[in-house]
C-alpha cells in the first residue's frame, strides 16, 4: 500500500502500538526514496529548494525555517555532519520518542536524504540512552538498512546520551557528542559553522527529518495539500493534562486546541488555562481554545507550540503551585554556568515557592516580573528566557490566583499532588499514538 | 542596533569592574552581573569601553574590533 494522494495520517501511517515498524513494512507503506546525488559545484541541491518551497519550519521548538538552516550548513567549506536530535528534553513532549521507537525509518530516511543533499558521510542519531526500548529500536533500525555506508550513502551511528531538559539544546548536544559535559557553549560559533568534530553540523529534530522523508517522495505541493496556508502540512502534538487520554496526535497545520482536546478524549474537568510550547512556552486563558495553531496567529500573541505541546490545566489544580514546582525544576536543570541563570532563576524560583507558604508574601512576589525581564536574553542559552516566558504568562493568565497567594499564602489545591511532570513523560506507552481526522 | 560590546555570560563571574569603568553603558543587575546597554560607541565612549574590556579579570568582555 503506497501512501495515497492525501491520505491521513501521514507520519503515523501504519503505526502499530508496541511494535517498531520494520524497514520492509516502511517501504511498503511509503515506497522507496530517490535522492539526486550531491553536486558540489552547482549550488543548492533541489531537495533544499523543495523544503523551502514546502515552508517547513523545524519541529524541535524554535520553528526556524529548515531550508535556511540546511543551506547555512551546506554553504560551509568543510564536509558537514548530520545529527538527528531526538533528545526531547521537554517533559511534556513525547513525539520524538514515539517516532524513534515505532517509526524510526521515517526519521532515518529524512536524515539520509539531507546527508546526501549536502554531501555528508555521517549521520548521528542522538537520543536518551536511558529511555526504555529506544536504544534497541534505533540500533535495530540501523542494522536493517544494508545500503548505509556503501558508495553514495552516509554511515549512521547511534549516539545514546544522558537525557535532561538541556540535553537537546544544540550547543549542549554538540558538546556531549564531542565527549564533553552536556552544557551549552557561547555562540558564535554556531553548530552550523563548527559543531561535532569541529565540522559544520546540521542538527534537526526527529520529526523534521520525518517530514523531509515525505517531501523527498511526494514534493512540496503534496506537502501543502493538508494544513493551512500559514501552517502547511501536518505535525505531531503531544496533548496532556486534564484530558481523558494523554497522547501524541498528528494534526493538519492550523487546527485548534479544541480539536486537539477532543481528539484526546475531551476534558475530564473544566478548563482553567492552556500551556502551549512546554516549559519554555506560554500560558493562555481558556478562550484561546479556538486560536488557530499556526506560527503567525500564535506569534501575534507572542506564543508558539514549541515542539508541539498542548497541556490543559484543569480547574482543580493550583497554577501557582504548578508553576513554582516547574520553575524550581528548571533551576536545577540549568547548567549552572551563567550568573544570570544561577542567581536570577534562583531568585524567581524562591519567590514562587514562597507563595506556597503562609501569610503575606507580597514583597518577593512584587519582584518576580521585574526579575523575569532582567534574566531574558542574557544567558548563553535560552533557558532563562523560556522560564521567564513560562512564569510571566502564568502570572498574567492566573493573575487573581497569584495575587491571592501573595496576600494569603497557599490554597487547598497547593497541598494536592502536582499535575505537571518534572522530567518524566505524561503519555504512557500503551496510549501513545492515535490518529486524528484532518481538520 | 549594533552591539559593539559582547559579554560571555559563561566566563563572567561578576567582578563588576566593567560597570565601574564604563557606567555610561554597563550597569549591574540585582546579583552583581553586568547588563550591557545596546548602542553605537562614540569615539569618546570607545576609550571607556576599551578600558572596561582590558580590566575584566575573567576576559569575559569583548569589544568587537571589526565594526
Looking at beta carbons, which residues of chain B come within 8 Å of A343? 30-31, 33
Strand partners for A311: A240, A275
Average pLDDT over residues A130-149: 91
What range does the domain containing B14 cover?
A: 5-63
**Does pLDDT of B57 surpass 50?**
yes
Q: Do A378 and B9 touch (CB under 8 A)?
A: yes
pLDDT tens track for B11-54: 999 999 999 999 999 999 999 999 999 888 898 999 999 999 99
**Does pLDDT of A36 surpass 90?**
no
The whole-angstrom distance between A150's CA and the closest CA on chain B is 43
User: A180: burial class by Cβ within 10 Å (0-12, 13-18, 19+)?
Assistant: exposed
Which of A413, A383, A379 has the alpha carbon at shortest distance from A398? A413
Here the CATH number for the domain that contains residue B43 is: 3.30.70.20
Residue A344 is nearest to which of B10, B11, B31, comparing CB atoms? B31
Q: Do A374 and B13 touch (CB under 8 A)?
A: no
What mean pLDDT is reported for chain A? 93
Q: Is the pTM of this model over 0.90?
A: yes
| pLDDT grade for A259, boundaries at 50, 70 and 90 | very high
Q: Do B9 and A371 touch (CB under 8 A)?
A: no
pLDDT of the residue at A1: 40
pLDDT of the residue at A43: 67
**Does pLDDT of A434 surpass 80?**
no
Residue predicted with more confidence, A357 or B58: B58
Q: Do A379 and B9 touch (CB under 8 A)?
A: yes
- Find the distance separating the first CA and the last CA of chain B, reported in whole Å: 12
Q: Do A344 and B29 touch (CB under 8 A)?
A: yes
**Does pLDDT of B1 surpass 60?**
no
Interface of A with B in 97-156 (CB under 8 A): none
- B35 has a chain A CB within 8 A of its CB: yes
Percent above pLDDT 70 for chain A: 95
pLDDT of the residue at A118: 95
Looking at beta carbons, which residues of chain A come within 8 Å of B10? 184-186, 337-338, 380
**Does pLDDT of A149 surpass 70?**
yes
Number of CB pairs, chain A paired with chain B, less than 8 A apart: 41
Mode of pairing for the β-strands spanning B34-36 and B26-28 = antiparallel
| pLDDT grade for A3, boundaries at 50, 70 and 90 | low
| CATH number for the domain running over A319-415 | 1.20.1440.230
- B37 has a chain A CB within 8 A of its CB: no
Q: Where are the alpha helices (DSSP H) in A22-158?
A: 23-30, 46-54, 66-74, 95-102, 104-118, 134-143
Instruction: Enumerate the domain spans of chain A.
Output: 23-226, 319-415
Looking at beta carbons, which residues of chain B come within 8 Å of A184? 10
- Find the distance separating the first CA and the last CA of chain A, reported in whole Å: 24
pLDDT of the residue at A428: 53
**Does pLDDT of B65 surpass 80?**
no
**Does pLDDT of A254 surpass 50?**
yes
Average pLDDT over residues A277-297: 95
* Number of Cβ within a 10 Å radius of residue A390: 22
- A344 has a chain B CB within 8 A of its CB: yes
Is residue A191 a contact partner of residue A69, using CB atoms and an 8 Å limit? no
CATH class held by domain A23-226: alpha beta
Q: Helix, strand, coil proportions of chain A in percent (round to 5)? A: 45, 15, 40
Residue of B nearest to A342 (CA): B31
| pLDDT grade for B2, boundaries at 50, 70 and 90 | low
Question: How many domains is chain B partitioned into structurally?
Answer: 1
Q: Do B35 and A338 touch (CB under 8 A)?
A: no
Around A244, how many Cα atoms within 13 Å sit in the side-chain half-sphere? 9
Residue of B nearest to A345 (CA): B31
Is residue A74 a contact partner of residue A45, using CB atoms and an 8 Å limit? yes
pLDDT of the residue at A150: 83
Select the residue from A166, A336, A346, A378 to test the B interface by mutation, using most B Cβ atoms within 10 A.
A378
Looking at beta carbons, which residues of chain B come within 8 Å of A374? 29-30, 35
Look-up: residue for cell 555570560? B9
Around A336, how many Cα atoms within 13 Å sit in the side-chain half-sphere? 4
Which of A277, A97, A90 has the alpha carbon at shortest distance from A168? A90
| pLDDT grade for A424, boundaries at 50, 70 and 90 | confident
Average pLDDT over residues A183-196: 97
SS3 category, A212: helix
Average pLDDT over residues A313-339: 97
pLDDT of the residue at A427: 63
**Does pLDDT of A431 surpass 50?**
no
**Does pLDDT of A325 surpass 70?**
yes
Residue B31 is nearest to which of A339, A379, A380, comparing CB atoms? A339
Amino acid at each position: 500500500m503506497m501512501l495515497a494522494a492525501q491520505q491521513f495520517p501521514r507520519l503515523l501511517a501504519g503505526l502499530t502500538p508496541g511494535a517498531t515498524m520494520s524497514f520492509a513494512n516502511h517501504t511498503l507503506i511509503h515506497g522507496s526514496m530517490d535522492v539526486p546525488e550531491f553536486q558540489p559545484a552547482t549550488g543548492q541541491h533541489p531537495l533544499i529548494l523543495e523544503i523551502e518551497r514546502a515552508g517547513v519550519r523545524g519541529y524541535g521548538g524554535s520553528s526556524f525555517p529548515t531550508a535556511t538552516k540546511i543551506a547555512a550548513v551546506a554553504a560551509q567549506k568543510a564536509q558537514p555532519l548530520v545529527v538527528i536530535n531526538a533528545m526531547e528534553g521537554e517533559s511534556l513532549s513525547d513525539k520524538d520518542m514515539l517516532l524513534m521507537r515505532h517509526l524510526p525509518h521515517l526519521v532515518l530516511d529524512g536524515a539520509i536524504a539531507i546527508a546526501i543533499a549536502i554531501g555528508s558521510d555521517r549521520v548521528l542519531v542522538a537520543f536518551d540512552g536511558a529511555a526504555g526500548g529506544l536504544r534497541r529500536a534505533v540500533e535495530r533500525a540501523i542494522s536493517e538498512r544494508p545500503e548505509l555506508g556503501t558508495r553514495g550513502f552516509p554511515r549512521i551511528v547511534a549516539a545514546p546520551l544522558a537525557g535532561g531538559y538541556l540535553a537537546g539544546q544544540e550547543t549542549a548536544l554538540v558538546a556531549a557528542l564531542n565527549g564533553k559535559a552536556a552544557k551549552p557553549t557561547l555562540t558564535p560559533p554556531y553548530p552550523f559553522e563548527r559543531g561535532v568534530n569541529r565540522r559544520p553540523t546540521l542538527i534537526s529534530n526527529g520529526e523534521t527529518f520525518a517530514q523531509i522523508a515525505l517531501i523527498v517522495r511526494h514534493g512540496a505541493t503534496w506537502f501543502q495539500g493538508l494544513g493551512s496556508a500559514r501552517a502547511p502540512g501536518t505535525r505531531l502534538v503531544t496533548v496532556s493534562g486534564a484530558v481523558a487520554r494523554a497522547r501524541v496526535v498528528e494534526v493538519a497545520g492550523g487546527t485548534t486546541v479544541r480539536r486537539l482536546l477532543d481528539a484526546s478524549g475531551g476534558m475530564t474537568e473544566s478548563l482553567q488555562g492552556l500551556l502551549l510550547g512546554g516549559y519554555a512556552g506560554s500560558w493562555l486563558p481558556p478562550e484561546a481554545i479556538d486560536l488557530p495553531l499556526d506560527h503567525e496567529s500564535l506569534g501575534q500573541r507572542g506564543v508558539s507550540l514549541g515542539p508541539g505541546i498542548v497541556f490543559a490545566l484543569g480547574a482543580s489544580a493550583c497554577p501557582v503551585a504548578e508553576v513554582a514546582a516547574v520553575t524550581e525544576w528548571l533551576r536545577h536543570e540549568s547548567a549552572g554556568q551563567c550568573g544570570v541563570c544561577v542567581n536570577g532563576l534562583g531568585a524567581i524560583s524562591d519567590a514562587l515557592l514562597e507563595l506556597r507558604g503562609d501569610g503575606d508574601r507580597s514583597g518577593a512576589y512584587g519582584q518576580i516580573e521585574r526579575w523575569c525581564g532582567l534574566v531574558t536574553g542574557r544567558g548563553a542559552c535560552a533557558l532563562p528566557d523560556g522560564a521567564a516566558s513560562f512564569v510571566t504568562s502564568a502570572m498574567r493568565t492566573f493573575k487573581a490566583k497569584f495575587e491571592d497567594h501573595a496576600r494569603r499564602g497557599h490554597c487547598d489545591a497547593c497541598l494536592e499532588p502536582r499535575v505537571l511532570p518534572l522530567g518524566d513523560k505524561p503519555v504512557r506507552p500503551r496510549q501513545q499514538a492515535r490518529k486524528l481526522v484532518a481538520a | 542596533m549594533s552591539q559593539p560590546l559582547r559579554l560571555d555570560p559563561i566566563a563572567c563571574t561578576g567582578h563588576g569592574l566593567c560597570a565601574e569603568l564604563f557606567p555610561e553603558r554597563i550597569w549591574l543587575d540585582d546579583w552583581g552581573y553586568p547588563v550591557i546597554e545596546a548602542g553605537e560607541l562614540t569615539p569618546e565612549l570607545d576609550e571607556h569601553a576599551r578600558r572596561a574590556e582590558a580590566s575584566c579579570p575573567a576576559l569575559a568582555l569583548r569589544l568587537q574590533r571589526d565594526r
